[in-house]
Structure 1
Amino acid sequence: MDPEASAALARLRELLRIPTVSYADESLIDWSSFDAFHAALERLYPEVHRVLEREVIGGHSLLYRWRGADAADPLVLMAHMDVVPVVPSEWDHEPFAADLVGEGEEQTIHARGAVDDKGALVAILEAVEALVADGATPAHDVYLSFGHNEETAGGGAQAIVAVLEERGIRPSLVLDEGGAVVDGVVPGVTVKTAMIGVAERGVMTVHLTAREQGGHASTPPADPATARLARAVLRLHRRPFPTRLVAPVRAMFETVAPYTRGPLQAVFRSIRYTGPALVKVFPKLGPELNALVRTTTVVTEMAGATGANVLATSARATVNVRLLPGDTVASAHRRIRRIVADRDVDVDVAWASEASPLSAWDGPAWGRLVAAGRATLGADVIATPYIQLGASDSRWFCAISDNVYRFTPFHLSRSEREALHSHNERIRVQEWLRGIAFYRALITG
C-alpha cells in the first residue's frame, strides 16, 4: 500500500475509534464523543477546514460549503457521523478498536461505522482534502452534509435542509448512503451491479396495545391482554402486504436482463408482463427481494406486566413498518387495523414518514453518477435504479431537490451487508479506497 493510502487508512481508523453512538433517548448520548469527532476532523483535514466554510447546525450536525466557480446547481454529498449501539460480547474484534484483519486485497477493517456510515463520510473528506490541496475549484458549489442523529430522529439533517431552503439553495444532485456494488442479489445476474436508490421506503412505528384490569396471575381471565396481543401479532404476521412491482424495480430488472443467465433473461426482459407472477415468488428467495416488492411489517418489541406473577394491565407490541412507494401512512394504518380485527386492541401510529418521491434514472444527474462509477468502480459494473430498503437522511432533501440518490460506492458481500446494525461490521480496505476515487470523480465530473 502506498504512503498516501496508508495515511488515509490511519485517519479512517482514528475516526472509527471515536464512539459516536446515538440513542433515541438523547439523555443516554455521550456528546463529548461528538465534540471529539468534530475536533479530530479539524485536525485530520486541515485543507478542508482552511478553504471550506463550516457551520454546526442542530446541535452537532455539520454543514460545509466549498465555493465553486458558480453557486447555482450545487452538489450535496451526505453522510452521518453517528452509529448504532453495540453488544461487545457478540463481536470477534472490539467494535471501536478498528482492527485490521488479513492482508492484501482481503485486508479488512472491523469497526462499528466502517460501512454505516463513517466509511462514506471519511471517503468524502479524503476526496475533498486531496482536491483542495491540489488547488482545485469545483465548477459549482459543493456542500458536505454530515448528520449527527440519522440512526434515530434525523433532526440534524432536517435542520440542515431548513437552512438551505431558507437560503434558496436548490441542489442539482444529492447523494447519500444507500445501495452498494453487489453480486448475487438478483437471481441469475452474472455481473456486479451498482444499486443506486432512486427512492426510499417510508417508515412507521405502530403500537398494538391490549388492556385489562390486571390483578394476580393466579386467577387469570379467559382472554387476557397478552393473549389478545399475541393473536393480533400472529394475524399481522400471517397476512403480509400484497406484492407489487413499482417502476424503479421494474427498471432494475430491465437493466440487468442482458446480463442474466438462462430462462430468467427472457423473464426479466418481459418484466412488464411477467412481473405480477414473478413478484409472488420473490418473497421466497430472501428478505432483500421480499422488501423490494412489498410493504413489510415486523414486530420488534413486546412488553407486558411488571412481574412474573402479575397480570398485565397493558400489553404492547411495537411494529416497524416500511412503506413501498404507492402505499401511504394512512392506507397502511387502515390495513393493519383490518388485519388485527379486534376492537379491544388499539392500533396507534406513534411516528411516521411517507415514502420519498422518485428521482429520475436518466438525465444529467443520473448520468453523472453512472459516469463516476464507471470510471472508478469498474467498467463491468452495471448501474441500475432500485428502491432503498432502509430510511436515510436523504429523504429530507427531497423538499429542495428533484435529484436525490442513495448509493455507497463500496463493493459489499452479502455477509458484509448483513453485518450492518449487527455485530462484526467491517469493510475491505481496497473497497474503501475505491470509494474515495468515486467521490473525487463525482466532484470533478
Structure 2
Amino acid sequence: MTPTNEPAIARFRELLQIPTVSRTDESEIQWQPFDDFLAALVRLYPRAHETLSREVVDGHSLLYRWPGARGGEDPLVLMAHLDVVPVVDEEWEHPPFAAEIVGTGPDAAIHARGAIDDKGSLVAILEAVEQLVADGFAPERDVYLSFGHNEETAGGGARAIVALLRERGVRPGLVLDEGGAVVDGAVPGVSVPTAMVGVAERGVMTVHLTAREAGGHASTPPAMPATARLARAIDRLHRHPFPTRIAPPVRAMFATVAPHTPQPFRWIFGHLAVTGPLLAAVLPRLGAETNAMVRTTAVATELSGAPGENVLATTARASVNIRLLTGDTVAGAAERVRRVIADPELEIEVRHGSDPSPVSPWRGEPWRRIAGAVRDALGEEIVTTPYIQLGASDSRWFTVIAENVYRFTPFHLTRAERDGLHSHDERIRVDVWLRGIGFYRALIAAS
C-alpha cells in the first residue's frame, strides 16, 4: 500500500469497526451502530454528500442520486448493504470488529466482519464516487447508490427503495449488486481467472417440519418418538436430493469458458447438448459450489426438541433452508418435500419463499459495460462469464423495475477468503480491495 491509499484504507477500517449487526428478530438489534454508521458516511465522504442527494429509507437504508447530463434515461444503480451477520467472538483469530491489518505487502489483509460481505463493496463504491467528484467528473446517466440495512435478514430496506423508485417512474438500465467474484479454478479445467457475474439468483424458501407427541419421561420412550420421526424426515430429504440439470445461465457459463480450457473439457463444455446430463451428474461430486450450480439444494438448519435431557419432546421441529435452481418454484419444491418425506402425520409448513429471479441477458450494452470495467480495472486476462448466483441478495427486489440486474463483487478472492463469508476470520487483502475501487470508477465512467 502507498501513502496515497492510506486515507482510503483508514476510512474502510473505521467503518468496519462499527458493528452493524442485523438479526432476524429486529427487537434484538442494537440500532445505535447503524446511526453511527450513517453519520460516519457523511463525515468521511464530504464531496459525495455535497454532490449527491441522499434519502434515508425504512429507518436506516440509504438512497443516493447523482444527476446525469441525460437525466433519468437508463440510470445506473450500484447496490451494497451495510448490515453484517452476527459473530462468535471466540472463534475469531483476530477480533471481528477491530479491522486489524495482518501481513505485509501483497499478503496484507484486513480481518473484520463485513470486509467482503458487504462493506467491502459499499465503501469501495463511495471511494470511487468521492474520487470522481474530486476529479470534476459528471456522469452522463443518473447514478443511484442503494444501500440496504437488513439484507442479511428481511431485505425490507431494499424493497422500500424499489417501491420508492417505482413510484417515481425510475427504470434502471443497469443494476449491480454483490455476487460472484473474480476466482481461480471455480470451473473445472479453466486455467484463467474468471469474473463470475450472476445473471440470475436462486430462489429461497424455508420449510418448517414439526413432529408432535404426548411427551412424558425419557425413561419410557414410545416406539417412534417425535425426535426420531423428525430425524427420519431429515434423513429422507438428505438421501433423496433434488435432481440435477444444466440451467440456461450455467450452460452459458460453460460455453463462455470453453475456449479457455484444454481437451477434453473444451469438447465437453462446447457440446452440452450431448454431454449436459453426464456433466450435471458429475459436478455435485466436485464440491458444494458446483453441486449448487446444478440442483435445488435443501438442508436442515435450526433444530429444537425437548426442554430437558430426561424429557420426551412434545414438539420436535426443524427448519429446512431450500435454494431453488432457475426453473424450479416454491410450490413445486414444497410438493416434492412432502412426497419425499412421505409422513402424513408430520406437519410441513412453508414459512416463506420466493421463486428464482428472472434471468438477465449476458449480451448487450449493459453486459459489455461490466465486462469492460473488469478488463480495464482488474486485468485483461480475466474472462467475464455469466453464472447463477448461489445465494440470495437484495438485487432480487429490483427485477420488477429493471431487466438488466447483475450480481458481482469486484474482488479477486481465494477459496479460503470466500469460505470466510458468514464464518469466522472474514478478511480481504488490501490490494484486492483497492483494485475494486477502480472497477467501480470504470463502471461509473462508462455510464
Q: TM-score range by the shorter chain?
A: over 0.9
Matching of residues 181-260 of structure 1 within 5 Å: 181-260=182-261
Report if aligned partners of 1:229, 1:315 keep a CA contact under 8 Å in 2: yes
Deviation at 1:88, TM superposition (A): 1.0
Report if aligned partners of 1:249, 1:385 keep a CA contact under 8 Å in 2: yes
Report if aligned partners of 1:291, 1:389 keep a CA contact under 8 Å in 2: yes
Task: Tell me the amino acid that sits aligned with residue 138 of structure 2.
Answer: T
2: CA distance between counterparts of 1:262 and 1:278? 15
Deviation at 1:306, TM superposition (A): 0.9
Deviation at 1:32, TM superposition (A): 0.3
1: CA distance between counterparts of 2:224 and 2:93? 45
Which SS does the other structure have where 1:140 is aligned?
Answer: coil
1: CA distance between counterparts of 2:363 and 2:167? 29
Give the ranges of 4+ consecutive aligned residues of structure 1 lying more than 4 Å apart after TM superposition.
Answer: none
Which SS does the other structure have where 1:342 is aligned?
Answer: coil
- 1:266 aligns to what? 267
1:217-244 Cα shifts (integer Å, max 9, x gaps): 2221111111111110100000000000
2: CA distance between counterparts of 1:363 and 1:356? 19
Which SS does the other structure have where 1:294 is aligned?
Answer: coil
- 2:21 aligns to what? 21
**Matched residue pairs, number?**
445
2: CA distance between counterparts of 1:431 and 1:162? 34
1:327-354 Cα shifts (integer Å, max 9, x gaps): 0000000000000000111111011111
Report if aligned partners of 1:250, 1:272 keep a CA contact under 8 Å in 2: no
1:74-112 Cα shifts (integer Å, max 9, x gaps): 000000000000011111100000010111111111000
The worse-fitting range, judged by mean Cα deviation, of 17-26 and 260-269 is: 260-269
- 2:437 aligns to what? 436
Structure 2 runs not aligned, ≥5 long: none
- 1:130 aligns to what? 131
1: CA distance between counterparts of 2:2 and 2:276? 49
2: CA distance between counterparts of 1:427 and 1:311? 47
1:99-130 Cα shifts (integer Å, max 9, x gaps): 10111111111000000000000000000011
Matching of residues 331-342 of structure 1 within 5 Å: 331-342=332-343
Task: Tell me the amino acid that sits aligned with residue 402 of structure 2.
Answer: S
Deviation at 1:312, TM superposition (A): 0.9
Deviation at 1:133, TM superposition (A): 1.3
Task: Tell me the amino acid that sits aligned with residue 63 of structure 1.
Answer: L
- 1:157 aligns to what? 158
Task: Tell me the amino acid that sits aligned with residue 43 of structure 2.
Answer: R
2: CA distance between counterparts of 1:310 and 1:103? 55
1:260-312 Cα shifts (integer Å, max 9, x gaps): 12311211111222011111011100000000000000001111111111111
Task: Tell me the amino acid that sits aligned with residue 395 of structure 2.
Answer: S
Which SS does the other structure have where 1:21 is aligned?
Answer: coil
2: CA distance between counterparts of 1:15 and 1:266? 48
Query: Identity of counterpart residues, as a percentage?
Result: 68
Deviation at 1:3, TM superposition (A): 2.8
2: CA distance between counterparts of 1:86 and 1:166? 37
Which SS does the other structure have where 2:323 is aligned?
Answer: strand
1: CA distance between counterparts of 2:325 and 2:283? 15
Matched, 1:31 2:31: yes
